[in-house]
Structure 1
Amino acid sequence: MRDAGSRDSDAPLAVFWHHGTPGLGLPPRPLLALADELGLRLIGHDRPGYGLSDRLGGRHIGHVAADVADIADALGITRYAVMGYSGGGPHALACAAADPRVVAVIVGSGLAPRDADGLDWYDGMIASGRHVLTAAERGEQERRSAEEDGYDPEFNERDLAALDGEWGWLGDIAGAFTPDDLDGAIDDDLAYVRDWDVDLDAIAAPTLLIHGTADGIVPLGHGRWVAERIGAEIWEREGDGHVAPVQALPDALRWLRDQVPD
């Protein structure tokens, strides 16, 4: 577990952060001061195969719900919110679907299920994304081989501007990623293209999605599909790519606090 945000463990509300792919579980540094102000305790964890967590081969998206529920139990948390960015989005949704203690959900630039009815899942996705994920559909060995081909995220100007500012924190996290964490990233990709084992219809908590209209890593259609399926609010950010929507997370935390009064 990686604990941050409010230094007071008795803060009114815990928020579990779900990192992207690749990533590590440290909650976002740009949100820490605001979390203190709002009385939020930000908690993150390394998914299996990353950082301090052992690998869990063959895991599904739904597996994360039990991990987070166990952490909540260990900390005596009786209600909590979840927030996920990019590949962390599906994992946040999984927690909301499985644990009635989840009282609010934020997803930024998140994926829809591979079998999403009526969604052309790869439509609008950059070449590198198509390459690694179609390789994942062919199995673990093919996905590992695709790693040798490199990855171009094709960030647009808005993404690069965000990374040049305080959200350069994401670059710091990427820099902390080591070859030992590769299993986590590969298992994430394998999980995205298989059955999630998540009942989206079970999500009852207020949910906010944030998505850039120019996202080529996870195209906007993914966010729109999830929003329609579960009746979530969606903030579409004109011209934003995959990274720039994180700049809306401070407003999203304020939205979350409004949804969950003390």
Structure 2
Amino acid sequence: MSEYVADEAYHVVRLRDGRQLSYAQYGDPDGFVTLNAHGGLACRLDVAAAAPTAELCGVRLISPDRPGVGRSDPQPGRTILDWARDVTELLDRLDVDRFAVMGWSLGGQYAAAVGYALAPRVTRTAIIAGALPLTEPGAFHGLPTIDRTYIRMSCHAPWGARLCFRAMGLAAAWAPRLYGWLAARDLGPADGAVLRATGFTTFAHMSQEALRQPQGVVEEYRAMVRPWGFAPEDIRVPVDIWAGTDDQLIDPSWPGELARRIPDATLHLQAGGHFLAHLYYRDILESLRSS
């Protein structure tokens, strides 16, 4: 079963367990498939800006909403590795055999999980501004204060976290330019410049869609601190680690540590912040397509 809703630009598949999984597609519909794992407090729309570049590179970007995010049904208690099963069902339904996978920020963990679990089908993986497993000693404290706060609230006071995420979604809907401006101010100069270039209202629309299910966002933060189910050393596909030298949201040691621990990894340290993918979409997609 597949449904397309033009005004919101999303498709829907029904998984075997009855859950609805929503996704968007961008770029060349006949191109090489690259699966996108969206970031935290984001959704399938976070890669929409890459659509022209994907078309130019001959890439078909498939960007699903994770459970409880955007238009996808929730899956309480899920883990990072569980996502690989949903991806398998989606790509089987779309008759996709071989593909690459990319993930930004929190999505880097999910891209790693797909690369690990579906290695026979995955040609290459890109982890962009990603983190180490947060269950490892000291890793949790490498997160910015706001993420640590949301994780603690989601685990210990979920009702308060739901209220926060609901308020954020309403602010994005009612005052999109102000919402985008405040995000640009708080993220630092490099990422503020990216948000101004892409448009505050565009960012706010993505955030509004990402936050439409506050309890699902709570589950996103809970899943962040559950065990991956594998270690970076277990990934057996080629991996590109992309990181910005001006990223103020992750521990600066993480990209190099991931590149050291993943057996076939290449580190790409570039000028830019947490949103560096917007500056290097062509490089990222061409690298993924080349394998």
TM-score (norm 2): 0.77
- Residues 121 and 222 in structure 1, CA contact (< 8 A), matched pair in contact too: no
- Alignment partner, residue 146 of structure 2: 128
Structure 1's 167 and 71: CA in aligned 2 closer, same or farther, altered over 3 A? farther
Q: For residues 162 and 114 of structure 1, what CA distance do their matches in structure 2 show?
A: 27
Aligned residue type for 1:176: E
Residues 245/80 of structure 1: CA separation in 2 closer, same or farther (3 Å cut): closer
Alignment match of 2:124 (pick from 104, 129, 133): 104
CA distance in 2: counterparts of 1:3 and 1:210, whole angstroms: 23
Bigger drift between 65-74 and 209-218 goes to: 209-218
2:281 counterpart residue number: 249
Please state if 1:218 is matched with 2:250.
yes
Distance 1:175 1:148 in 2: 14
Contact 2:140 2:148 in 1 (8 A): no
How many Å separate the matches in 2 of 1:111 and 1:143? 23
> What letter is aligned with 1:155?
L
Aligned to 1:94: 113
- What is the CA-CA distance between 1:187 and the residue it aligns to? 1.1
The question of whether the paired residues in 2 share the 8 Å contact of 1:79 and 1:102 is answered with yes
Change (3 A) 1:252 1:167: farther
* Offset from partner CA, 1:159-200 (integer Å, 9 cap, x none): 10011113754443113334x322222111111112122343
TM-aligned CA deviation for residue 254 of structure 1: 1.6
Q: Which amino acid aligns with 1:109?
A: A
Query: 8 Å contact 2:40–2:105 — kept in the other structure?
Result: yes
- Tell me, yes or no, if the aligned pair for 1:81 and 1:105 is still in contact at 8 Å: yes
| TM-score where L is the length of structure 1 | 0.84
> Which position in structure 2 is the counterpart of 1:7?
29
1:17–1:27: 8 Å Cα contact kept in structure 2?
A: no
Deviation at 1:215, TM superposition (A): 2.7
- Which protein, 1 or 2, shows the higher relative CO under an 8 Å CA cutoff with sep ≥ 6? 1
Residues 68 and 75, structure 2, Cα contact 8 Å, conserved in 1: yes
| Alignment counterpart, residue 155 of structure 1, candidates 184, 187, 211 | 187
Aligned pair count? 249
Q: How many percent of aligned residue pairs carry the same amino acid? A: 27
Deviation at 1:61, TM superposition (A): 0.5
Asked if structure 1 preserves the Cα contact closer than 8 Å seen for 2:35 and 2:102, the reply is yes
**CA offset digits 1:94-113 (Å, max 9, x no partner):** 00000020111112111210
Given that 2:38 and 2:47 are in contact with CA atoms closer than 8 Å, whether structure 1 keeps it comes out as no
Q: Deviations over 1:44-92 (max 9, x none)?
A: 1110001221110011011110111111111111100111111111001
The residue identity in structure 2 corresponding to 1:37 is L
Q: 1: CA distance between counterparts of 2:152 and 2:246?
A: 21
127-136 vs 63-72, which moves further:
127-136
Partner of 1:50: 69
Match in the other structure for 2:179: none
C-alpha distance in 1, partners of 2:139/2:132? 10
Asked whether the 8 Å contact 1:18–1:91 carries over to 2, the reply is yes
Partner SS, residue 141 of structure 2:
coil
**Structure 1 position 7, deviation (Å):** 2.6
How far apart are residue 4 of structure 1 and its match? 2.0
CA distance in structure 1 between the aligned counterparts of 2:58 and 2:277, rounded to whole angstroms: 23
Correspondence 1:173-188 to 2 at 5 A: 173-178=206-211, 180-188=212-220
In structure 1, list runs of 5 or more residues that go unmatched: none
